[in-house]
Amino acid sequence: MDPEPSQAFTVNQCIDEVAQKLDAADLYYGHGAIDAHSEALWIVSKQLDLSPAETLDHLEDSISDHQHQQAIAIAQTRISSRKPLAYILGEAWLMGVPFFCSEQSIVPRSWIAELIVDGSLEPWLPADGKALDLCTGNGSLAILLALSCPDIHVSACDISMPALAVAARNVDRHGLSSQVELLDGDLWEALPEPNEENLFDLIICNPPYVNAHSMSSLSPEYHAEPILALAGGDDGMDIIRKIIAHAPDYLSERGALLLEIGNEYENFKKAFPQIPAIWMEVSAGEEQVLLIQAEDLR
């Protein structure tokens, strides 16, 4: 009797094999995926030219031997280099939206993205309103704002020209060049002098906020990113102090400033005890992102 033909390798089997290799390598996850299985899904979806979410509908499909081997090779690169997967693939996903990614800017990730997409910020985004994304990096938050609120104008600035080059590619990728304006400069220096015609209804910012002690103990994955985009000084508040000092000059009367501070809740409270911040609930909790209304900054 002839032997039965071997069963084709499925997408799900490939994901499981890649996940096992990653899981055994003591990697750090936090740059767009939460664990080894999530990164494995991401790796395999790239071979299929699908989004990770779309790939979940094709788990029982066959995968070619070439695609299988490519996925394994990328996993090996991830393990040997300890670079974030987004840099290896040249692409990251944030709230289901793809972004070009390179080592010129940090990997797209921010809890602010959740608040943009779920509509939490709409009370501060009137029709024909203006928003500003400070420290835009790869431009992902500015782009999510523009996609979620197509009737607003979004300005986005960064001190890093290489990061802005990445942002420009992403703005072009999503066809938003008429809605999103990119500006070069150190925080407020990138903007014209404020007047009644150029104030913002909402300013968002995911600034460098990692305190010096935490910077010294970051995983290799973080050290692959530009230090300029991470380090926030001794208490993590160096850049945030500059932002808060001048934000009132650039906000409309009913405007607001939205800041991500990550794990620096205690340092923020110590640095700004007088500010009545509104803490926004995101998937990581209620101490990572805060909103300050313009009237409470003046």
Domain-located, residue 273: yes
Q: Are residues 224 and 290 in the same domain?
A: yes
Domain-located, residue 194: yes
Single residue among 40, 69, 85 that ends a domain in this structure: 85
Domain-located, residue 265: yes
Q: What pLDDT, on a 0 to 100 scale, did the predictor assign at position 9? A: 86
| Residues, the chain | 298
Q: Are residues 207 and 224 in the same domain?
A: yes
For the chain, give the DSSP string: -PPPPPPPPBHHHHHHHHHHHHHTTT----SS-SSHHHHHHHHHHHHHTS-HHHHGGGTTSB--HHHHHHHHHHHHHHHHH---HHHHHTEEEETTEEEE--TTSPPS--THHHHHHTTTTGGG--TT-EEEEET-TTSHHHHHHHHH-TTSEEEEEES-HHHHHHHHHHHHHTT-TTTEEEEESSGGGGSPPP-TTS-EEEEEE----B-HHHHTT--HHHHTS-GGGTB--TTS-HHHHHHHHHHHHHEEEEEEEEEE-TT-HHHHHHH-TT--PEEEEETTEEEEEEEEEGGGT-
Q: Are residues 17 and 131 in the same domain?
A: no
Of the listed ranges 1-15, 17-31, 237-251, the least confidently predicted one is 1-15
**Structural domain span for residue 32:** 11-85
Angle, CA 57 vertex, CA 54 and CA 58 arms, to 5°: 100
Angle, CA 24 vertex, CA 18 and CA 30 arms, to 5°: 75
For residue 238, what are its two tokens? 């160096």
Domain-located, residue 6: no
CATH of residue 57's domain is: 1.10.8
The partner residues of 204 in beta bridges, in order of sequence, read 133, 258
Position 52, amino acid: P
Single residue among 45, 61, 85 that ends a domain in this structure: 85
Domain-located, residue 2: no
Q: How many domains does the chain have?
A: 2
pLDDT digits (tens, 9 = 90+) for 88-138: 999 999 999 999 999 999 999 999 999 999 999 999 999 999 999 999 999
256/122 Cα distance (integer angstroms): 11
Residue 92 phi, psi dihedral angles, 5° rounding: -135, 160
> Across all residues in the chain, what is the average pLDDT?
95
Q: What is the 3-state secondary structure (H, E, C) of 101-152?
A: CCCCCCCCCCCHHHHHHCCCCHHHCCCCCEEEEECCCCCHHHHHHHHHCCCC
pLDDT digits (tens, 9 = 90+) for 32-46: 999 999 999 999 999
Q: Are residues 103 and 180 in the same domain?
A: yes
Q: Is the pTM of this model over 0.85?
A: yes
Domain-located, residue 223: yes
Residue 5 pLDDT > 50, yes or no? no
CATH of residue 129's domain is: 3.40.50.150
Q: Are residues 78 and 96 in the same domain?
A: no
Q: Are residues 144 and 73 in the same domain?
A: no
236/249 Cα distance (integer angstroms): 23
Q: Are residues 156 and 69 in the same domain?
A: no
Residue 7 pLDDT > 70, yes or no? no
Single residue among 65, 85, 105 that ends a domain in this structure: 85
Residue 211 phi, psi dihedral angles, 5° rounding: -70, 160
268/258 Cα distance (integer angstroms): 14
Q: Are residues 78 and 99 in the same domain?
A: no
Q: Are residues 64 and 144 in the same domain?
A: no
Domain-located, residue 57: yes
Q: Are residues 119 and 255 in the same domain?
A: yes
Q: What pLDDT, on a 0 to 100 scale, did the predictor assign at position 298? A: 82
pLDDT digits (tens, 9 = 90+) for 200-215: 999 999 999 999 999 9
Q: Are residues 153 and 178 in the same domain?
A: yes
Domain-located, residue 3: no
Q: What pLDDT, on a 0 to 100 scale, did the predictor assign at position 196? A: 84
Q: What pLDDT, on a 0 to 100 scale, did the predictor assign at position 242? A: 97
> Between β-strands 130-134 and 200-205, what pairing exists: parallel, antiparallel or unpaired?
parallel
Q: Are residues 81 and 116 in the same domain?
A: no
